[in-house]
């Protein structure tokens, strides 16, 4: 049965969002689903944002209180608004920022790690488990709200940071599969944000011009992502091409919330009140809520009270009380994370202590402006000078932060003799990524424009020749073209007319080569000998699972994903499939 809807899911560090559109509508209209969730014991409310957090209730939590959801009478773990509220009071049972842990290559991301500082006896979950719980809640919310169009029959896209590594992407897909998702497509968040801008501005061709270089700055709860998109002209039509993506920068709203909590902690200490590690965790979460209230567009608040549970009976009401003020925001968030930076600067490398507590690998330099300068310097010879900027992410809802970044960009533009940077406005920063994912899903069906990101090289896999062994000489290689130059992300190609022997059941080496010069080799064509234009990538040692070992005849299918991964599928005659994955995107150092 054909799908009725395209569903876009922003699986955010702090909040998750689900947007959707009917495929057959003319024109398609993108909407945001109101997600049922517990906001208090016994109270289910529909809200556009689902806080990306879990609470692991203990015996003393909510005794006798009803915690039923419309689709689950006894959910066990709490997801969403009530989890966030209770977690601020009892941080030792609270799971947040699972997405940041999913990106942490230095730990086993499938291990039970969270809550990070859970007391003895409190169960833990893995970052994959937490992601699965959020995605499952969203699927069940859809089926509850849209019973006539089951979730598993729709086209579903889930967004990830542009800087997610291959493992983080695979684990996101694993969590989605566990949650009952089928045939999920991953899309990068900065691209989704730009698609959302196009969706909201049907006259976008009148707002940009050939030669424009658009910078997308996405600062969320856990990460900062940068992307450059160039406006080009082809056959008289405007086209969009992504030309650079920043590396992973684990720096975002979480860092700012902790900095604010530390400032409040210092003020409490100066007054004689000291707090322990668990109380600091609670203060961290409460400062996040207070910060969001102070930075909410249109807010006139100058301060917001924050309180945490006390440790002794000498405290009034058993709580420690403090306030977060607009002065904290200006001094710590704006000046601390967005200081003035020169065009030639980059993130500062700090001398590191040899022994470190295991935890998230946060960026050592908290100055986002310096990370941005480093990204632009590395994007093109001589540096890139964007003419337009699009802001995305909850942090950038704050006008003072946007102004500081715009000031920096305009200063760098003036240094290079260019005009001021124009801000592309008019988008809802909290829902843009999910909305943009829906637009992209529609664009794949021809109902919108796609950002091109063609391969900048031709790719080949090495095939060992079937010649008699010669003492002291390795068997010569031939080179099969598996991905032609310019092959666009989100497309695939099959090479069914050639079969090769695949070694399974034992360790073997795959060798991948590329060329920026050979641009006319078609998929499936074979080079009988090495060309001086071929450059070898790092070999991949793998052992492909199979019943028994030996050589299995296979043909190849190549997929270049929307997140810049080349997937080489080896397909046996009996339908068995093995996947090899390589990162083939041009990278820059941010």
Q: How is 104-126 classified by DSSP, letter by letter?
A: -TTS-TTS--BSTTPPTT---B-
Q: What is the pLDDT of residue 468?
A: 62
Task: Cite the residue boundaries of each domain of the chain with CATH code 3.90.640.10.
Answer: 253-337
**CA 179 to CA 135: how far, in whole Å?**
6
Task: Cite the residue boundaries of each domain of the chain with CATH code 3.30.420.40.
Answer: 5-186, 204-250+366-446
204-250+366-446 under CATH 3.30.420.40, yes or no: yes
> Does the predicted model carry a pTM greater than 0.85?
no
| Tens digits of residue pLDDT in 147-180 | 999 999 999 999 998 778 778 888 999 999 999 9
CATH class of the domain whose range is 253-337: alpha beta
Alpha helices by DSSP H, listed for 67-148, are: 81-89, 98-102, 127-145
Contacts with 392 (C-beta within 8 Å, 6 or more apart), sequence order: 189, 190, 193, 216, 217, 218, 219, 427, 429, 432, 433
**CA 276 to CA 280: how far, in whole Å?**
6
Residues in the chain, pLDDT under 50: 313-317, 352-358, 586-590
Q: What is the pLDDT of residue 355?
A: 44
91 with 278: CB under 8 angstroms? Answer: yes
**CA 261 to CA 282: how far, in whole Å?**
9
Radius of gyration of the chain (CA): 26
Instruction: State how far Cα 411 lies from the chain centre.
Output: 29
**CA 147 to CA 126: how far, in whole Å?**
31
Q: What is the pLDDT of residue 325?
A: 92
220 with 562: CB under 8 angstroms? Answer: no
439 with 199: CB under 8 angstroms? Answer: yes
Q: What is the pLDDT of residue 316?
A: 45
Work out the end-to-end distance of the chain between its first and last CA atoms, rounded to an integer number of angstroms.
45
CATH of 5-186, one of 3.30.565.10, 3.40.50.970, 3.30.420.40, 3.30.470.10: 3.30.420.40
113 with 107: CB under 8 angstroms? Answer: yes
Contacts with 461 (C-beta within 8 Å, 6 or more apart), sequence order: 479, 480, 482, 510, 511, 512, 513, 556, 568
Q: What is the pLDDT of residue 374?
A: 92
| Tens digits of residue pLDDT in 340-377 | 999 888 887 765 444 444 456 667 899 999 999 999 99
């Amino acid at each position: 049965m054909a799908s009725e809807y395209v569903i876009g899911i922003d699986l955010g560090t702090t909040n998750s969002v689900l947007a959707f559109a009917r495929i057959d509508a003319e024109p398609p209209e993108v909407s945001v689903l109101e997600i049922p969730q517990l906001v208090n014991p016994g109270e289910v409310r529909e809200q556009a944002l689902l806080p990306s957090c879990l609470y692991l209730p203990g015996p003393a939590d909510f005794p006798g209180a009803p915690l039923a959801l419309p689709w689950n009478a006894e959910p066990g773990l709490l997801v969403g608004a009530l989890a966030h509220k209770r977690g601020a009071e009892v941080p030792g049972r609270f799971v947040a920022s699972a997405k940041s842990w999913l990106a942490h290559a230095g730990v086993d991301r499938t291990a039970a790690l969270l809550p990070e500082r859970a007391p003895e006896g409190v169960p833990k979950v893995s970052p994959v488990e937490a992601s699965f719980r959020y995605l499952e809640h969203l699927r069940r919310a859809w089926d509850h709200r849209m019973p006539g169009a089951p979730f598993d029959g729709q086209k579903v896209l889930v967004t990830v940071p542009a800087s997610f590594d291959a493992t983080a992407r695979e684990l996101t897909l694993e969590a989605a599969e566990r949650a009952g998702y089928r045939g999920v497509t991953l899309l990068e968040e900065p691209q989704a944000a730009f698609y959302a801008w196009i969706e909201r501005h049907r006259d976008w061709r009148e707002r940009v011009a050939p030669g424009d270089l658009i910078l997308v700055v996405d600062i969320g709860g856990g990460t900062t992502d940068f992307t450059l998109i160039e406006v080009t002209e082809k056959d008289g039509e405007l086209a969009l091409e992504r030309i650079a993506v920043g590396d992973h920068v684990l720096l975002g709203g979480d860092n700012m919330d902790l900095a604010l909590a530390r400032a409040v902690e210092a003020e409490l200490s100066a007054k004689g009140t000291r707090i322990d590690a668990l109380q600091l965790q609670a203060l961290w979460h409460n400062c996040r809520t207070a910060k969001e209230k102070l930075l909410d567009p249109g807010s006139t608040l100058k301060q917001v009270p924050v309180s945490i549970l006390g440790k002794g009976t000498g405290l009034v009401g058993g709580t420690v009380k403090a306030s977060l003020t607009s002065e904290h925001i200006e001094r710590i968030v704006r000046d601390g994370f967005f200081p003035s930076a020169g065009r030639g600067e980059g993130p500062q490398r700090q001398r590191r202590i040899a022994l470190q507590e295991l935890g998230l690998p946060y960026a050592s330099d908290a100055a986002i402006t310096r990370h941005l300068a480093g990204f632009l310097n590395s994007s093109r010879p001589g540096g890139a000078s964007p003419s337009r900027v699009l802001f995305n992410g909850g942090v950038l809802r704050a006008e003072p932060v946007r102004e500081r970044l715009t000031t920096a960009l305009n200063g760098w533009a003036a240094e290079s003799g260019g005009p001021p940077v124009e801000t592309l406005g008019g988008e809802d920063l909290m829902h843009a990524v999910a909305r943009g994912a829906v637009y992209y899903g529609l664009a794949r069906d021809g109902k919108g424009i796609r950002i091109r990101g063609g391969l900048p090289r031709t790719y080949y896999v090495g095939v060992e020749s079937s010649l008699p062994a010669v003492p002291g000489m390795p068997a010569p290689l031939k080179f099969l073209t598996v991905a032609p130059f310019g092959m666009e992300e989100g497309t695939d190609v099959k090479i069914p007319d050639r079969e090769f022997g695949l070694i399974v059941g034992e360790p073997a080496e795959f060798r991948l080569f590329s060329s920026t010069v050979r641009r006319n080799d078609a998929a499936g064509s074979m080079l009988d000998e090495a060309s001086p234009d071929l450059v070898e990538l790092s070999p991949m040692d793998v052992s492909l699972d199979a019943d028994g070992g030996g050589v299995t005849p296979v043909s190849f299918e190549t997929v270049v994903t929307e997140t810049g991964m080349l997937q080489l599928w080896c397909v046996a005659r009996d339908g068995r499939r093995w996947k090899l994955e390589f990162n083939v995107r041009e990278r820059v150092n941010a």
